Structure 1
């Protein structure tokens, strides 16, 4: 599959005023609404512009085509999760390793499930883009944050704290995505919220 380089998909300009920021937010919200209502196959910049209440000219000031718009949405969702996790990490600092592991799992679930339909809609277009660099940076950032939390725990006794943090990030991220992508029923989401924190606590306990 020939996927466009991320550098070719960047927005044409960034918002500099409150009005521009509001316009961009309206475009992003409309994109999710069109995706959920009509699917990626029927999504066009014209449909999004109409739903957002902006002119097609305004749309093109930011996103010259559909691929650029979808790429921006995927990156935006990734940034949302990272920001949520950084906030949660500050609240967990100094807790024991079991509490940290459970708290990180719950935070990741909380970051994604309120907009689970939006995440599922975007998962369907992820394969169209080269996200290796961005995903790699996100994993590295989460590994660093998780490692710092685990190292600061009063009962931390890990031979390789970074390796444990890496696996914890992979376990949490991969499990949540698998469920949202394939079986995101209310019952399964409730089961995930109950069992994933327990699994993460058991993992860090066994790794000590």
Structure 2
């Protein structure tokens, strides 16, 4: 499967979405078109699967980062998660930009909603364990934290962000998210003895 997915990305980058065909993908992967159709009956199904794999990798990176920051102060949580998210999203900017175009062409709303919910769940579980702050409305805070990261990355992936921002993105996004989280938080409750 990886060979087919990698070939899809290669054809997408070389020829663009409009010229991508299952025949070109099969040739690039060194597979027969029949084999490709066995798994993916049409171009849209193949592109959907490639996007699903891409979003899955980002989701895994976010979940692992969030899990590693459980029980830490808020500043460390924000740093760990934001940097892991940016790294996952920018590991291959060309691929990411091409897949943004794919998501815009296909009806990927359910897939994207599932990926966003996965990320918010990981963030909520992490934020609930912060040692130096509590959140009285964790669902809203988690939504805003996630939206700040994804919205900023969307702008970067569309190529509308200034070049300098792309170079300084992890630190800038960390500051943005941490500033919001600090403002949204409250001091932890003291336990009586």
Of 153, 158, 162, the match for 2:130: 153
Structure 2 residue 87 is the aligned partner of structure 1 residue 110: yes
- Structure 1: distance between partners of 2:60 and 2:134: 28
Please report how far the alpha carbon of residue 128 of structure 1 lies from its aligned counterpart in structure 2 after TM superposition.
Answer: 2.6
Structure 2 residue 74 is the aligned partner of structure 1 residue 94: no
Q: How many residues align?
A: 185
Deviates more, 1:99-108 or 1:186-195: 186-195
1:99 and 1:201 in contact (8 A); partners too: no
Q: Secondary structure at the match of 2:72?
A: coil
Please report how far the alpha carbon of residue 132 of structure 1 lies from its aligned counterpart in structure 2 after TM superposition.
Answer: 2.3
Structure 2 residue 138 is the aligned partner of structure 1 residue 164: no
Of 101, 109, 126, the match for 2:103: 126
- Structure 2: distance between partners of 1:125 and 1:137: 17
Q: Secondary structure at the match of 1:125?
A: helix
Structure 2 residue 151 is the aligned partner of structure 1 residue 174: yes
- Residue deviations 1:135-156 (CA, integer Å, cap 9, x gap): 2222222222211211101112
Please report how far the alpha carbon of residue 185 of structure 1 lies from its aligned counterpart in structure 2 after TM superposition.
Answer: 7.5
- Residue deviations 1:110-134 (CA, integer Å, cap 9, x gap): 1111122101001112123222222
Q: Secondary structure at the match of 1:95?
A: coil
- Structure 1: distance between partners of 2:132 and 2:176: 18
TM-score calculated relative to the size of structure 2:
0.89
1:32–1:120 distance in 2 versus 1, CA, 3 Å = same
Question: Which 5+ residue runs of structure 1 have no aligned equivalent?
Answer: 1-23
- Residue deviations 1:71-115 (CA, integer Å, cap 9, x gap): 111111111111111111121111111211222111110111112
- Residue deviations 1:29-71 (CA, integer Å, cap 9, x gap): 0111111111111111111111111111111111122111111
User: Partner residue of 1:72?
Assistant: 49
- Structure 1: distance between partners of 2:181 and 2:154: 21
- Structure 2: distance between partners of 1:38 and 1:178: 23
TM-score calculated relative to the size of structure 1:
0.83
